[in-house]
Amino acid sequence: MDKDIIIKVENVHVSFWQNNVGVYSLKDLFAQRKSPFKTKTILNNINTEVRRGESLGIVGRNGSGKSTLLRTIAGIIKPDKGNVVVNGTFAPILAIGAGLEVELTGYENISMLLALYGTKRKNTNAVENIREFSELGDEVLRMPVKQYSSGMVARLAFSISLANDSDILIIDEVLAVGDQGFQAKCMEKIYSIKNQGKTILFVSHFPDQVAKICNNAILLENGEMIHSGNSIEICNKYKQLF
Amino acid sequence: MQNITRIYALSKRNVILRYKNSLVGFFWGFFKPLLYLLIFIVIFKQNSGIPHYVLFVTSGLILWFFFSNVTGQSVGSIVGSSGLLKSLNIPAYFFPLSETIGELFNLLLTLFVFLIIMNWFGIVYSIGMLLIFPCIFLFALFALGLNLFLCSINVFFRDVGIIWNTVQPALFFLTPIAYAESSIDPKYKMLIQCNPIYYFLKLGRCILYDPVLPAWHLWSSCIIISVSMYIVGQFIFNKLKNQFISAI
């Protein structure tokens, strides 16, 4: 395989088991006597590759399979068919705070996620960097995350995913919730990460952002990749969908 | 090495979450067996005819509550960790495993306190007591196997957690914890012998309560039960784990 290619997705096919109508418990299973699950195809025949240092945008309607594709690439979901080959490490996908434990405080979340992600214990700067970047005060980080506003959660989540020194950064609509100042700061950070030669996978509903950040993009529709290519073209196609 | 750090971080999270916002936290763990012990002393002690009844009951209760806590918490471990499972690429079995390990530490601590307090209730200290460690290991392996089974089924049918909580008291009384095995009508003895926990309890009690070394056939039945439970649990878990993300 070409050394330059950091992510290669070949013929990937992902399907989920879906509960049949009304079968949510054993009671229904015995009462209705039908198979409780049917398979639903989420992604069908996805092919794409990303070179080191390039960025890939993923656009599409709600429910078209964008997050599933990200999770498949990150190895969280195993594809039924096809291959995903990745030559690098990932930052955690903290899509609008999923993965944060709401009962724990900000600091506890930071240390748990850093440990789970495998950041070295010696890297004590990590916590400091997260606090600095998120602009959340000491007092806020001592509060349980359940008391945060959605913008604060997004700040914390995005800052934690940036703290890992990983090759591939996955950004799943995190920028939608932050205030203007934080959005601008994030965009700046994303550019600087890009300039360091790291790879970015970017999901967003703002085609202009995608066009600015990414070299290439793919457009998903009902789990199929209907277009791929230059990000500006794809974003125009995305706009035409509506 | 990295996996050890991860499992440690998860176990720590479980411990923090369990006693979050509670007043005396960890000590509630002692409170429950103590309450049961008092109830049993009031109801059963007179008629049981068991020497050192407190020691007899406590040695059983410690093992039972380990089992009951660990399964009760692990049932929902996959469902309750949906956020982490969806955002990080960590093996799903870490969650039931970290629950089991966290509870195991709890058990060791409880056992330590038990060994000191039971000084006043007629415990006979001996070197053979070290055999409790392999016994606990086997019991924990059995519990882990059961946890893997329960938590993976629970992802798809949420009533497994409820069913398990309902079945537990029945299992508790099917295990000779508060009464002597010999007090059971021979007709129903089969019923107790079908209960896998009975063997672990008997093994543990041989070591802690009777100053005799447990027979080899008791050891071998415990080994067979725990290993086969673990294999079954792991097998079912592996069959289902790829579909966890879609269902949580």
What tens digit of pLDDT does each residue of B169-209 get? 889 988 888 888 888 888 888 888 888 999 999 999 888 88
**CA terminus-to-terminus distance, chain A:** 39
The verdict on A31 touching B (C-beta cutoff 8 Å) is no
**A37-51 and A5-19 as β-strands: parallel, antiparallel, unpaired?**
antiparallel
Contacts of A121 in chain B (CB under 8 A): 5
Phi-psi region of A16 (alpha: psi -120 to 50; beta: other; left: phi over 0): beta
Cβ(B109)–Cβ(B61) under 8 Å? no
Contacts of A116 in chain B (CB under 8 A): 6, 9-10, 84, 88, 90
* Distance, CA of B29 to chain centre: 13
Chain B residue nearest residue A101, CA to CA: B83
Q: Regarding predicted confidence, which is higher, A98 or B220?
A: B220
Residue A29 predicted with pLDDT over 70: no
Does residue B95 carry a pLDDT above 70? yes
Residue A84: count of CB within 10 angstroms of its CB: 18
The CATH architecture of the domain made up of A51-240 is 3-Layer(aba) Sandwich (3.40)
* B chain contacts of residue A17, beta-carbon cutoff 8 Å: 156, 243, 246-247
Token pair in block for residue B145? 């196997």
pLDDT digits (tens, 9 = 90+) for A52-90: 888 888 888 888 888 888 888 888 888 888 888 888 877
Do the interacting molecules here have an ipTM over 0.95?
Answer: no
- Summary mean pLDDT of chain B: 86
Q: Indicate yes or no: CB of B90 within 8 angstroms of CB of A116.
A: yes
Residue B10 is given by DSSP the state: H
Interface residue of B85, B240, B246 to substitute, partner A, most A CBs within 10 Å: B246
Where residue B136 falls among pLDDT bands split at 50, 70, 90? very high
The pLDDT of residue B127 is above 90: no
Please give the pLDDT value at position A21: 47
Give the domain ranges of chain A. Answer: 51-240
**Domain limits at B163?**
28-41+51-247
Measured CA distances, A169 to A56, A130, A200, B66, B177 (Å) = 11, 16, 5, 42, 55
Angle between helical axes of B216-240 and B132-156 (0-180°, round to 10): 30
Contact assessment for residue A10 and residue A83, using Cβ atoms and an 8 Å cutoff: yes
Amino acid at A166: S
- What pLDDT is attached to residue A183? 83
Contact B29, B110 (CB under 8 A): yes
Query: What is the average pLDDT across B152-180?
Result: 88
Q: In B, which residues are within 8 Å of A90 by CB distance?
A: 89
In a domain, B164, yes or no: yes
Q: Give the mean pLDDT of B237-242.
A: 89
| Contact call for residues B103 and B69 (beta carbons, < 8 A) | yes
pLDDT over threshold 70, residue A120: no
Give residue B51's identity as a one-letter amino acid code.
P
Neighbours of B30 (CB within 10 A): 16
Q: Using CB atoms, which residue from B6, B87, B89 is nearest to A95?
A: B87
State whether residue A217 sits within 8 Å of chain B by CB. Answer: no
CB atoms closer than 10 angstroms to residue A32: 13
pLDDT at B24 over 70: no
Say if the Cβ atoms of A103 and B20 lie within 8 Å.
yes
The least confident of A84-93, A135-144, B95-104, B126-135 is A84-93
pLDDT at A2 over 90: no
Q: In B, what residues contact A, Cβ < 8 A?
A: 2, 5-6, 8-10, 12-13, 16-17, 20, 82-90, 156-160, 163, 242-243, 245-247
pLDDT at A30: 67
B174 lies in a domain? yes
CA A136 from centre of chain: 22
Does A16 lie at the interface with B, CB-CB under 8 angstroms?
A: yes
pTM: 0.85
**pLDDT value, residue B71:** 93
Residue B21, pLDDT above cutoff 70: no
Looking at A103-107, A175-179, B2-6, which range is the least confident one? A175-179
Orientation angle between helical segments B28-48 and B94-117, nearest 10 degrees? 60
pLDDT tens digits along B28-78 = 777 888 888 899 888 887 777 788 888 888 889 999 999 999 999 899 889
| Burial bucket for residue A80 (CB in 10 Å: 0-12, 13-18, 19+) | middle
Q: What angle do CA A83, A84, A87 make, to 5 degrees?
A: 135
Alpha-carbon gap, residue A38 to A189, rounded angstroms: 43
Q: How far apart are CA A157 and CA A109, in angstroms?
A: 10
Percent of chain A at pLDDT above 70?
A: 85
Structure confidence at residue A206 (pLDDT): 83
CA A190/CA A169 separation, integer angstroms: 9
pLDDT value for B96: 92
A108 with B16: Cβ contact below 8 A: yes
Q: Higher model confidence: residue B217 or residue B88?
A: B217
pLDDT at A20 over 60: no
- Strands (E) in chain A, as ranges, are 5-19, 37-51, 55-60, 81-86, 168-172, 199-203, 216-221, 224-230
Q: How many domains does chain B fold into?
A: 1
Identify whether B184 is part of a domain: yes
Read off the pLDDT of each residue in B117-144 and give the average, rounded to a whole number. 88
What are the respective helix, strand and coil percentages of chain A, to the nearest 5? 40, 30, 30
Q: Does pLDDT of A158 surpass 80?
A: yes
Residue A208 confidence class, pLDDT cut points 50, 70, 90: confident
